[in-house]
Copies of this chain bind each other. A is one copy, B any other.
């Protein structure tokens, strides 16, 4: 057509994509609400339906990926807003154990499976790395939907996810070093580890203290209107910084949320963030679904591999996390173990890096993506069913506690 010059611009196409994704997410959400199922499962499946496997309406473009990333950034910022550092410290020991054991078992399982299948060392380590990292975005969304974010088991999962992410980042650095054939540069890895722990430690301790002591940094008169934009700028800035250091962007967003939560503005900020929290996360869930290639699994061998890898991913992560959380009691340990299972976007990202560097082939990539989706789809209904059978004992309010 004659106006094609304007209508075919990338921006016009992006508007159409954003519209289709948001509409699909809303329909999936509403349908699953009526079915009494977790809404994020509906949104992920909406992504599968509009993606290349079924309708082929939308491709996973770079713009959609940015919106998906902002989705999980705002999701974890929201979770951070609901989290107090003191509460996280309370569950610190259990969280570290869950993070560590929930890291070691899947890693060992993945590497063992790789060698068992006759893969190279680099491929085996990548497979292990792809099985390691929990997608706390998925579990967080379910915790919010269930209204249990303010419980000991939920905080244990969040703390463990931070530990897990630092370990996974170190592992990924080692794996990339192996794949690049340059060998491992122990010094660089040490620098990365120190940076990462310093980043988390400084922000978690210093940042919250700074904003608690000087809440006006985030409000009038320096910023004369609402604290929304300063808070969003802080979230984006720490997310970008975390990303540059090699951590997941969401760790930065989570810490930003915790920092903002310490200020007096907490409640108005929550009201103002809510619409951004409603707008962006659907892109994250739909984008996960968009990456599924159902066609890859018509091959029986691939399907069998998918089943095996998924079973291994679930069993090792559950067992490691359950043992790590055992001190919290049986019911909490089960909840934590299940909550750590989803791999979501993290496994997909690791597999993608492996494919780019040539150590993960197309079949294994499809299997890892499939495993990530299956663990992500399976967990929300299970978590939901666990909740009523194990009511959380309310701690007595103590005077002087914030």
Q: List residues of A whose CB falls within 8 A of some B CB.
A: 1-3, 5-7, 10-12, 14-16, 18-19, 22-23, 26, 30, 33, 62-63, 65-66, 69-70, 73, 169, 172-173, 176-177, 185, 188-189, 192, 223-224, 226, 228-230, 232-233, 236-237, 239-240, 243-246, 249, 272-276, 278-279, 282, 349, 353, 356-357
Secondary structure at chain A's binding surface: helix, strand, loop or mixed?
A: helix
Residues of B close to A245: CB separation below 8 A: 3, 7
With the chains together, A279 CA to B272 CA distance in Å? 11
A236 touches B22 (CB 8 A): yes
A10-B62, A62-B63, A279-B232 known; A357-B5 Cβ under 8 A: yes
B11 touches A69 (CB 8 A): yes
Residues of B close to A249: CB separation below 8 A: 11-12, 15
A7 touches B237 (CB 8 A): no
Residues of B close to A172: CB separation below 8 A: 3, 6
B236 touches A2 (CB 8 A): no
A2 touches B176 (CB 8 A): yes
A11 touches B65 (CB 8 A): yes
Instruction: Tell which of A2, A169, A243 has the most Cβ of chain B within 10 Å.
Output: A2
CB distance from A18 to the nearest CB of B (A): 6
A226 touches B278 (CB 8 A): yes
A6-B246, A15-B239, A244-B16 known; A233-B26 Cβ under 8 A: yes
With the chains together, A278 CA to B272 CA distance in Å? 10
B349 touches A6 (CB 8 A): yes
With the chains together, A15 CA to B229 CA distance in Å? 15
Residue in B69, B226, B278 whose beta carbon sits within 8 Å of that of A228 in the complex = B278
With the chains together, A217 CA to B22 CA distance in Å? 17
With the chains together, A65 CA to B13 CA distance in Å? 12
Q: Who on chain B is nearest to A353 by CB?
A: B5
B237 touches A19 (CB 8 A): yes
A12 touches B244 (CB 8 A): yes
Kindly list 20 other residue pairs between chains A and B, CB separation below 8 angstroms, not including A7-B246, A15-B249, A275-B275: A2-B173, A2-B176, A2-B185, A2-B189, A3-B192, A3-B245, A6-B246, A6-B353, A10-B66, A12-B240, A12-B243, A14-B69, A18-B70, A18-B240, A22-B232, A22-B233, A26-B230, A229-B282, A272-B275, A274-B275
18 contacting pairs across A/B (C-beta < 8 A) = A2-B176, A2-B185, A3-B169, A3-B246, A5-B357, A6-B169, A11-B62, A11-B69, A14-B62, A15-B66, A15-B243, A18-B240, A19-B233, A26-B230, A26-B233, A30-B224, A229-B279, A273-B275
Q: Who on chain B is nearest to A223 by CB?
A: B30
With the chains together, A241 CA to B279 CA distance in Å? 20
Residues of B close to A173: CB separation below 8 A: 2-3
Residues of B close to A3: CB separation below 8 A: 169, 172-173, 176, 192, 245-246
Residues of B close to A236: CB separation below 8 A: 15, 18-19, 22
Residues of B close to A237: CB separation below 8 A: 19, 23
Residues of B close to A224: CB separation below 8 A: 30, 33
A16 touches B169 (CB 8 A): no
CB distance from A133 to the nearest CB of B (A): 12
CB distance from A232 to the nearest CB of B (A): 6
A18-B236, A236-B22, A249-B12 known; A5-B176 Cβ under 8 A: yes
With the chains together, A228 CA to B22 CA distance in Å? 12
With the chains together, A244 CA to B69 CA distance in Å? 27
Counting from the closest, the 8 A-B pairs by CB-CB distance are A3-B246, A19-B236, A12-B243, A15-B240, A275-B275, A16-B240, A2-B188, A14-B66
